[in-house]
Amino acid sequence: MSRIRCILRGLDVKTYIFMFAVIPMCVFGFYIHGQKISYFLRPLWEKAPKPFNVIPHYYNENITMENLCRLHGWGVREYPRRVYDAVLFSNELEILTLRWRELYPYITEFVVLESNSTFTGLPKPLVFNSNREQFKFVEPRLTYGTIGGRFKKGENPFVEEAYQRVALDHLLKIAGITDDDLLIMSDVDEIPSAHTINLLRWCDEVPSILHLQLKNYLYSFEFRVDDKSWRASIHRYQTGKTRYAHYRQSDDILADAGWHCSFCFRRISDFIFKMKAYSHYDRVRFSHYLNPERIQKVICKGTDLFDMLPEEYTFRDIIGKMGSIPHSYSAVHLPAFLLENSEKYKFLLPGNCKRER
């Protein structure tokens, strides 16, 4: 103790301030903003992925299918391929309705798998099963399955997600998928446009695996982030080879192929549920992120629910996307069912950021 006293007596006031004020403040600041610092410095430690081979997308309702296929460098088939739309369902009732109404004319079988567990191991009700009456319009073409959660606390959420995607592979076989059928692999909120699916089912020589470039929206179709959503894909099914996945599986991507509307919920309670349930739950670093008043303010401002910086690979892109997403007042080229039922789904349209509890 005497040595410590001697050392402390030898320190001046500035050193005391540095040790007991500046250093603790820096540690606290890093605790609060460490994730932002890490994301901002991302260009220093992670390279951008290989660019996609972007296939130009041609469409006009007055152009024949033969000409549309030819514009893409493809031939036209004598009859269209069968199309299977397969999704893992959590609680996105409104978005699933928009998706299936958009795709309905061209889907052979709708395949949906539901679990009583979230990816993070939380118990959840079978929401789709409880609301199945809403989807009577697809019932003749619906294959529905459930899977019990494993409820392993502390496990990486992506393990549970992968487990459910494997189960979806088995459900597709039960649904009757066969070689050369088209299979849409995407989350519920990644919605291919109807004319995109119609094009791909009629054209010959399309890539065996083709990613779909979607317009990227957050909270509603008022906040358009960019055109960089790429995880959705469509596959020409091959028995023993095709596996349901949500990562990059090809270098080819079709431009302007639909919409990705992330966190597009009617109720604040659904925002909170997803924030706690999905694979990136680690982004909820502080409990006040789940405060309903805060969430409502974030939605109307168009800022990030998790107070994160943009996930980009260059300083230019990171700085360019910092802050609120610009408001868009265009509702042109959105899903037809949304506009036909605008009063029911007005929370998804520009100028309607207020949410129900």
Percent of the chain whose pLDDT exceeds 90: 71
Residue 79 lies in a domain: yes
Residue listed under structure tokens 């996609």: 52
So what's the pLDDT on residue 318?
86
Helix or strand run (H / E) with residue 165: helix 157-175
Q: 318-323: long-range contacts (C-beta < 8 A, 24 or more apart)?
A: 318/39, 318/40, 318/42, 318/43, 321/225, 321/226
Residues contacting residue 135 through CB under 8 Å, at least 6 positions apart: 96, 97, 100, 128, 142
Which residues in 170-192 are b (16+ Cβ under 10 Å) and which e? ebbeebebeeebbbbbbbbbbbb
Whole domain around residue 342: which residue ranges?
49-356
In this structure, is residue 173 part of a structural domain? yes
Which has more confidence, 288 or 26? 288
Domain annotation covers residue 4: no
182-216 pLDDT tens trace = 999 999 999 999 999 999 999 999 999 999 999 99
Distance CA 223, CA 41 (A): 26
- What are the tens digits of pLDDT across the range 91-127? 999 999 999 999 999 999 999 999 998 888 889 999 9
Evaluate whether 213 touches 253 at the Cβ level (below 8 Å).
yes
Closest CA to 244 of 119, 88, 68, 36: 88
Domain contains 87: yes
Q: Retrieve residue 228's tokens.
A: 């960089």
Count of other CB atoms within 10 angstroms of residue 237: 18
Tell me if 275 sits within 8 A of 304, measured CB to CB: no
What is the total count of domains within the chain?
A: 1
Answer yes or no: is 93 within a domain: yes
Is residue 316 one of the residues assigned to a domain? yes
